């Protein structure tokens, strides 16, 4: 039966409260959920260390990109209010308040909970001052042999300018007094090429027999041995500080003759961009802080005093410890029958039916094997791929190079503008090009974020195409850590669309129509909007309307307005949004029928799924696009339909249903943008269930 629509909110009600949440503050809410994972005692101890390290790294990136952008707006006298009603200055003030609160909670957890828990497990992060004399002497010998040769003290005086402080570097501000009684300032960079947590030698009776391990922070070792760096000079004081710089690369693409050289130059210039945050040791005297702040051109509001070791991201070094009992239990990803052995014919399997993989629960190896077998198969004529984040020692690149050696035509689009992976991608692009691969560096004005591989194969008198379309990058390392989906198909329409897409990327094609693929910025926005409107119309006629969207971020205002419209029409809307969500759920008369949940757990939720019930004619898409303006309008993104009934059923009744049942990792979003606390009791864990399901096969 048709369902009666909810009563729309009145204009007065809407004016009372903004319909949109602030993007930056929503992202900080996600960082709180990451901190919750560190605080959750149900997680193994070193996994809790990992989440605290991730939080620190995430906040670094937040300042480098988000805060830097807001500060640029303020410098350019931008006072316009955003959709949430805040000016850039008001947003920055709210960010600083929230970041200070998150940081305080993180360090309180570090000192009060994590350090005692590590000590109980036999992992002791010691203060250098409490070491025994023999331990200090052994560490001093290590300092002189391994650390001292790397250090370069830089003085700051009328004859020597204030040294450049590189982005994310950990440093020591040192005040010394010469023989005449004059005080001087110097900077010593803590080298990031050395271990940040140094093992402390301990006796057999204290350590090796019991498995006890002790570490000290590298900067404490340097401070203790500063007299070696400043012989004959009195060390007055030394305190650590950490600088974060604007890392948003501004590339004037339309004015460049060589995109590769332009991006190389922009990446090089990134290290000299403005500072946006200064973190200092809480005990640093105000005079030293002022010296740093004035030379870095930062105001007082950009200075954060930290009660503990700076840059908790360095805790990741503990993850290398051989303590499997303190980590998540490893599991063996499942490989579908017929896709694992070397003699298997993956092309035959794809011809029989589409294949869907759910990583990391399903192995990523079939994707690599697909490319390797294409490289070695004498009937394969060409391979085309989009590459966004490859990682190091890439087996994907190895397969492409082997294909070139075997005489295949190989064309690859390497997106040089992948943020913070620019240098790595430049290296890969040059390596591929030097071996004869046709390399395209990206499109002017657009970032290519789609994940598509196309293999062209001669089969008798026919030329058949095979496609792999995915939600995640062709990165074998992150495929073990991120949840993603990949579809193998030889559907003629999808493969023809993929061919048109590559012609668009590598040539001068201006394709405006696609058969089945939704491609941004060409038809993706319009097609998603049409599907939502169709769901609304079908619900009004038949009832039972249901939308389920799983995405990393929901920010786009027109999409949010359509979802509000669907809710007002009575359509049930379930949103699984990992990070940013600017929509307000559960607002009377506006979003009563919308529920938003965020899943943060062992694996980073990265897959995007868009489901429309369409009165029982279930329609499902997977792909690379989030619901953000940049994805819909300023990137090349691809959503592919999943059409085989058994795969649609698997995604709807297994994958999406599990996420909607999750009680272990899910937080439910409230109308004010906050989330319910993580359920500390036992409950259904979707990610653990996926592992168990694969293990039972």
Reading phi first (left if > 0) and then psi (alpha if -120 to 50, else beta), residue 420 is in left
Distance CA 451, CA 580 (A): 22
* 620: phi then psi, degrees, rounded to nearest 5: -135, 135
Catalytic position from the list 242, 358, 449, 606:
449
Secondary structure letter of residue 317 according to DSSP: G
Nearest to 377 by CA among 356, 352, 408, 354: 408
Reduced to 3 states, what is the DSSP secondary structure of residue 483?
Answer: strand
Nearest to 57 by CA among 285, 319, 298: 319
Nearest to 690 by CA among 649, 656, 645: 656
Residue 285, H or E segment: none
> Which sign, positive or negative, has the C-alpha torsion 467, 470, 476, 479?
negative
Does the annotation mark 449 as catalytic? yes
Query: Which residue has tokens 């991608």?
Result: 425
Distance CA 66, CA 25 (A): 10
Distance CA 532, CA 436 (A): 45
Distance CA 395, CA 502 (A): 22
Assigned token pair, 44: 């193994």
CA 202 remoteness from chain centre: 38
Asked if 442 contacts 629 with a C-beta cutoff of 8 angstroms, the reply is no
Secondary structure letter of residue 507 according to DSSP: S
What is the set of active-site residues?
Answer: 449
């Amino acid at each position: 039966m048709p369902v009666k629509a909810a009563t729309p909110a009145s204009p007065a009600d809407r004016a009372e409260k903004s319909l949109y949440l602030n993007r930056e503050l929503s992202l900080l809410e996600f960082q709180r959920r990451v901190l919750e994972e560190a605080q959750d005692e149900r997680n193994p101890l070193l996994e809790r260390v990992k989440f605290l390290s991730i939080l620190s790294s995430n906040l670094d990136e937040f300042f480098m990109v988000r805060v830097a952008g807001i500060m640029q707006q303020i410098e350019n006298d931008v006072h316009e209010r955003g959709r949430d009603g805040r000016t850039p200055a008001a947003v920055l003030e709210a960010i600083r308040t929230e970041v200070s609160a998150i940081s305080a909670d993180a360090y309180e957890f570090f000192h009060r909970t994590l350090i005692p828990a590590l000590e109980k497990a036999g992992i002791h992060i010691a203060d250098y001052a409490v070491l025994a004399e023999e331990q200090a002497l052994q560490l001093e010998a290590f300092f002189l042999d391994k650390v001292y040769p790397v250090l370069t003290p830089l003085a700051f005086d009328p004859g020597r300018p204030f040294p450049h402080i590189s982005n994310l570097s950990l440093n020591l501000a040192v005040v010394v007094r010469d023989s005449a009684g004059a005080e001087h300032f110097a900077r010593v960079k803590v080298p990031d090429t050395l271990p940040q947590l140094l093992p402390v030698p301990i006796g057999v009776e204290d350590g090796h027999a019991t498995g006890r391990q002790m570490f000290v922070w590298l900067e404490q070792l340097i401070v203790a041995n500063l007299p070696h760096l400043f012989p004959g000079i009195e060390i007055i004081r030394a305190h650590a500080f950490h600088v974060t710089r604007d890392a948003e690369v501004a590339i004037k693409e339309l004015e460049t003759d060589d995109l590769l050289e332009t991006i190389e130059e922009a990446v090089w210039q990134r290290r000299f961009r403005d500072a946006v945050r200064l973190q200092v040791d809480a005990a640093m005297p105000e005079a030293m802080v002022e010296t740093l702040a004035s030379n870095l051109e930062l105001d007082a509001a950009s200075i954060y005093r930290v009660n503990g070791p700076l840059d908790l991201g360095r805790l990741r070094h503990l993850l290398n410890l051989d303590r499997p009992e303190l980590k998540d239990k490893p599991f063996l990803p499942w490989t579908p029958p017929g896709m694992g052995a070397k003699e298997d014919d993956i092309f035959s399997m794809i011809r029989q039916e589409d294949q869907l993989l759910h990583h990391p629960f399903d192995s990523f190896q079939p994707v690599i094997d697909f490319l390797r077998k294409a490289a070695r198969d004498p009937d394969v004529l060409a391979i085309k791929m989009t590459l966004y984040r490859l990682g190091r020692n890439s087996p994907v690149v190895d397969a492409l190079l082997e294909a070139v050696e075997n005489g295949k035509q190989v064309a690859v689009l390497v997106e040089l503008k992948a943020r913070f992976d620019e240098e790595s991608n430049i290296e890969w692009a040059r390596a591929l090009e030097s071996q004869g691969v046709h390399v395209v560096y990206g499109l002017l004005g657009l970032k290519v974020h789609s994940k598509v591989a196309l293999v062209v194969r001669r089969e008798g008198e026919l030329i058949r195409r095979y496609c792999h379309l995915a939600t995640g990058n062709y990165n074998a390392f992150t495929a073990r850590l991120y949840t993603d989906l990949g579809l193998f198909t030889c559907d003629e329409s999808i493969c023809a669309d993929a061919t048109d897409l590559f012609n668009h990327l590598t040539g001068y094609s201006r394709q405006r129509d696609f058969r089945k693929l939704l491609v941004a910025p060409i038809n993706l926005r319009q097609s998603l909007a049409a599907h939502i409107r169709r769901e609304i119309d079908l619900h009004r006629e038949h009832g039972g309307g249901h939308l389920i969207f799983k995405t990393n971020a929901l920010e786009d205002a027109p999409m949010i307005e359509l979802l509000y419209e669907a809710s007002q029409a009575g359509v049930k809307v379930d949103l699984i949004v990992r990070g940013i969500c600017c929509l307000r759920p559960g607002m009377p008369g506006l979003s009563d029928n919308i529920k938003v949940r965020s899943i943060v757990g062992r694996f980073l939720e990265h897959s995007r799924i868009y489901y429309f019930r369409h009165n029982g004619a279930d329609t499902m898409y997977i792909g690379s696009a989030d619901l953000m303006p940049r994805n819909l309008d300023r990137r090349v993104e691809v959503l592919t339909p999943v059409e085989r009934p058994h795969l649609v059923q698997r995604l709807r009744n297994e994958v999406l249903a599990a996420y909607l049942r999750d009680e272990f990792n899910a937080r439910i979003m409230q109308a004010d943008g906050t989330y319910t606390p993580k359920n500390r009791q036992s409950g259904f864990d979707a990610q653990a269930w996926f592992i168990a399901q694969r293990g039972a096969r």
